[in-house]
Amino acid sequence: MKLKKAFLILGMVLVAISCATNPFTGKKTMALVPNSQLFPTSFAQYNQFLSENKVVTGTSEAAMVTRVGQRIAVAAERYLNANGHQGYLNDYKWEYNLVEDKTVNAWCMPGGKIVVYTGILPIAKNETGLAAIMGHEVAHALANHGQQRMSAGMLQQLGAVAGNIAIQDEKSRNAFNQYYGVGSTVGVMLPFSRAHETEADNIGVYLMAIAGYNPTEAAELWKRMKANSGGQAPPEILSTHPSNDSRIANLEAIAPKAIAEAKKFGITSFRE
């Protein structure tokens, strides 16, 4: 029991001393892996990925990815500076690449390294659709979601170790391992991930609006995403992402707020 308490106290101490603040929500977030360690690793992994995949250059689509990425990055800096977070992006090394791959995906690594797959461009449909996609992915990086997921995973593992040490009976320990894995995933990790996706949707819509792209198009993008999926998706409770219908409803609700926010930055009309 003493050892179990020691693990619990250690976990609490780690969380208490390893916190960051989300600049968009003001909430404290877990940061067991500091950005000073996370960013260099991220940059190295990004460079390795580019070396192993076909990067598209010299095309109008590649130019569009760079253009949208730069505008989203400028919008992020304008928002952060206006809300008292000057210097927040000092360690970010923005890079935007289009990669030839049929996968319907895009991502932004911690520190601002972005990849858009060619497979998602038909669903993006146009530059505004791409802005909705890239705004969402950049939002994950800005809100330190990768850092939080790593921290949560470390605490999940710590809980498993503590349980295995504390439970002496082998049968009880096996039962713990079986139920802890499922329970902590379905009850904690998956809701944690879904919350990140919704938060990235919300932040991303604000960023695209401040960048001059119509935020009402974000919901239209997800209608196309839904159609592309053919309705094939796990139940929301078992998914890392909210359902398409939940996302569409949320994006429709937040678009007017994003338009109002963009007006604070002098954006009163949007690019076609």
Beta bridge partners of 99: 55, 117
pLDDT in tens, the chain (272 residues): 444 454 444 455 454 445 677 888 777 776 677 778 889 999 999 999 999 999 999 999 999 999 999 999 999 999 999 999 999 999 999 999 999 999 999 999 999 999 999 999 999 999 999 999 999 999 989 988 666 676 666 666 777 777 788 787 777 777 777 766 666 565 556 666 687 889 999 999 999 999 999 999 999 999 999 999 876 666 665 566 678 899 999 999 999 999 999 999 999 999 86
Q: In the prediction, which pLDDT does 175 show? A: 72
Has residue 270 been placed in a domain?
Answer: no
- Listed residue (5, 9, 130, 8) closest to 72, CA to CA: 130
Identity of residue 214:
N
Asked if residue 56 belongs to a domain, the reply is: yes
CA 206 to chain centroid? 15
Tell me if 255 is assigned to some domain: yes
Instruction: Give the rounded distance of the alpha carbon of 227 from its chain centre.
Output: 23
Rounded (10°) angle between helices 190-210 and 244-263:
40
Number of domains in the chain: 1
- Establish if 268 belongs to a structural domain: no
Q: Is 57 helix (H, G, I), strand (E, B) or coil?
A: coil
98 falls within a domain: yes
Domain ranges, residue 129:
2-263
Is residue 105 situated within a structural domain?
yes
- Report the alpha-carbon distance of residue 81 to residue 5 in Å, rounded: 43
Look at residue 179 and tell me if it is in a domain.
yes
Enumerate the active-site residues.
137
> Is 44 part of a structural domain of the chain?
yes
